[in-house]
Amino acid sequence: MAATAEHSTTGTSAPAYYVSTPIYYVNDRPHLGHAYTTVAGDVLTRWHRQRGEKVWYLTGTDEHGQKIMRTAEANGVSPQEWCDKLVEEAWKPLWAHLEIANDDFIRTTEERHTARVQEFVQDLYDKGEIYKGGYSGPYCVGCEEFKLPSELLDGATEDEKLCSVHKRPVEWLEEENYFFRLSAYGPKLLEFYAANPGFIQPASARNEVLRFVEQDLKDLSISRSTFNWGVPLPWDEKHVLYVWVDALQNYITAAGYGSDPERFAELWPASVHLVGKDILRFHAVIWPAMLMAAGLPLPKRVVANGWLMVGGEKMSKSNLTGIAPTDLTSHFGVDAYRYYFLRAIPFGTDGSFSWEDFTARYTSELANDFGNLASRVAAMVGKYFGGELPASAAHGDAEQAIADGLRTAVETADQKIGEELDFAGGLAAIFEFVKQVNGYLTEQEPWKVAKDESAEGQARLATILYTAAEALRGTAVLLNPVMPSTAEKLWDSLGATEGLGALAAQTVATAGDWGRLPAGATVTKGEILFPRLEEKPAS
């Protein structure tokens, strides 16, 4: 885990900006789709940290249920051994590699989770929210979800029905189960959605949930009795808790529910649950109803991202492109990877990955527009001023336009990324500004002005280069949440630490204030930010 101690929130009770990812099933290694949600959450939380807010970012793994149990069996190990191996060898290392700065990593097999889960369901049982009944119906182990016959596709034979997500046969379950009185919560949920129109985003997701809840909700089977890889029900140990009811509670157990009231008060309710659109109902219907039943406050927002697609289907274990996240990072670098998916796919809609599109954006936006700008400015300050940033002599209209452009980029990006989770829109605004600075240099032609050795010419040259360097100073702050290593390199090359302190200590609020980079800063031509790409590896 790339968690950093300074982000710890314990000790005061002011609310923190708390963002969660889904906890991922560890039946397999992480793929591009999982990384997509996790990077988005990382950028969102880094953005809020850059605002100077207290932040808490949670991710983790979902380790119970039939899917994991069967995978472990098929590999000849116990479920716990399987989970331990995958978490340590695949999941945590990938998040560290992608520079995910999560503050905690919860595993649902940890005692800190299972003990609290048992208390939570016991409480619901004691309140009469859970009763015993019988379930018979279709179940998809891939989704770990009870299905309605109307949701299924026809299979190869008359009796066979397929899950519409996995395109694999569902299983018929006939068990004695415990049920949660979900049906009682329909009207309360609708009331809550109406009073909190921003609760489910985007609008398409909200509408889908509203239509679903407007039909009669059925009670939810919350236990399984035909296998034992799960949290036992405290009042009837022949049953294990349905994996989703166990999993959803990670958001409170990690936040200190039942163990650390002070921390829980600071963190709960969560600010944003990030989810894929496939698991929206669990988060926007079942989870809020469970919380209502327990008398706990509801999360502020549930934001659904679209799917990364392959050949028109949701990218999943069974239809992977064969491309692992690390195949892309070894070619394009980690920062370009973090940037690309958020820039290329409007958050909330489905999108496809292609080498061609990634290569095109890398080359034009990152290497040419941004990387070249940084190296040209550093090279000119080196060549004409011995690497010492000159003071701006005469800030004219052209310079004011750049200063205004920076302020607009800061305000737009802050609203779009920090509030709306419109990462593509926020990044577009930042790169619009980078283009504007390139245009300014093209117009001002500092390389020509440099030939004018008069005091006036030199003053003009100083103004142009100061303006460009100061524009890069603001850009480094804005890009730090998205591309932390690159932003750090740029910050170093601008010699900004000496006058302004660490990049991490800069705030979004002051990023648009013009003239922060002090004259006299030591500008150095650091390494190329986005080197020319090697040939695409043979697939």
46-85 residues in contact with ligand MSP (CB under 6 A) are 62
The total of other beta-carbon atoms located within 10 Å of residue 262's CB is 12
Site string for ligand MSP, 443-472 (x = CB under 6 A): ------------------------------
Q: How far is the CB of 415 from ligand MSP (least distance, A)?
A: 24
**CB 177, min distance to ligand MSP, A:** 20
Angle (nearest 5°) at CA 264 between 194 and 34: 70
Answer for which of 17, 22, 289, 406 binds ligand MSP (CB under 6 A) is: 22
Please report how close the Cβ of residue 254 comes to ligand MSP at its closest, in angstroms.
11
Using rule CB under 6 A, residue 308 touches ligand MSP: yes
- Nearest distance from C-beta of residue 105 to ligand MSP, angstroms: 14
Helix axes 66-74, 79-86, angle to 10 degrees: 90
Q: Which is nearer to ligand MSP, 306 or 390 (CB)?
A: 306
The interface with ligand MSP within residues 232-291 (CB under 6 A) comprises: 247-248, 250, 275-276, 278-279
CA distance 276 to 22: 8
Return all residues near 169 (Cβ < 8 A) that are at least 6 apart: 155, 160, 161, 162, 163
Q: Among the candidate windows 7-15, 28-36, 160-168, 254-262, which touches ligand MSP by CB under 6 A?
A: 28-36
Amino acid at 120: F
The span of 20-28, 110-118, 399-407, 409-417 binding ligand MSP (CB under 6 A) equals: 20-28
Q: Which is nearer to ligand MSP, 256 or 348 (CB)?
A: 348
What Cα–Cα distance (Å) separates residue 107 from each residue in 48, 49, 78, 110, 405? 25, 25, 16, 6, 45
Q: Is the dihedral of CA 86, 263, 286, 190 positive or negative?
A: negative
Q: What are phi and psi of 393, to 5 degrees?
A: -90, -45
C-beta closer to ligand MSP: residue 307 or 433: 307
CA angle 483, 486, 489 (to 5 degrees): 145
| Sheet containing 236-241, strands listed edge to edge, beginning at the edge strand earlier in sequence | 223-224, 236-241, 232-233
CA distances from 387 to 151, 179, 270, 383, 477 (A): 66, 71, 47, 7, 21
Nearer to ligand MSP, 37 or 475 (CB): 37
Q: Is 43 in the site for ligand MSP (CB under 6 A)?
A: no
Which amino acid, residue 444? Q
Strands (E), 81-181: 104-107, 130-140, 145-146, 153-154, 161-162, 171-180
Q: Report residue 471 as tokens.
A: 């524009």
Nearest Cα neighbor of 200 from 288, 132, 261 is 288
Contact status: 314 vs ligand MSP (CB under 6 A): yes
279, two tokens: 């698991």
Give the nearer residue to ligand MSP in terms of CB position, either 11 or 322: 322
Using CB under 6 A, which of 69, 101, 315, 523 touches ligand MSP? 315
Give yes or no for residue 430 binding ligand MSP (CB under 6 A).
no
Binding to ligand MSP by CB under 6 A, coded x per residue (else -) over 382-401, reads --------------------
Q: Which are the catalytic amino acids?
A: 31, 34, 140, 143, 163, 166, 314, 317
- Looking at the Cβ atoms of 35 and 189, the one nearer to ligand MSP is 35
Task: Give the residue with the Cβ less far from ligand MSP, 107 or 460.
Answer: 107
CA distance linking residue 239 with residue 121, whole number of Å: 12
Rg of the chain in Å (alpha carbons): 26
Number of residues lying near ligand MSP (CB under 6 A) = 21
Q: Which is nearer to ligand MSP, 308 or 490 (CB)?
A: 308
What phi, psi does 507 have (nearest 5°)?
A: -110, 155
Our finding on whether 424 is near ligand MSP (CB under 6 A) is: no
Residue 141 Cβ, how far from ligand MSP at the closest point, in Å? 12
Among 17, 18, 24, 440, binds ligand MSP (CB under 6 A): 24
- In the complex, the residues that contact ligand MSP under the rule CB under 6 A are 22-25, 33-34, 36-37, 62, 247-248, 250, 275-276, 278-279, 307-308, 314-316
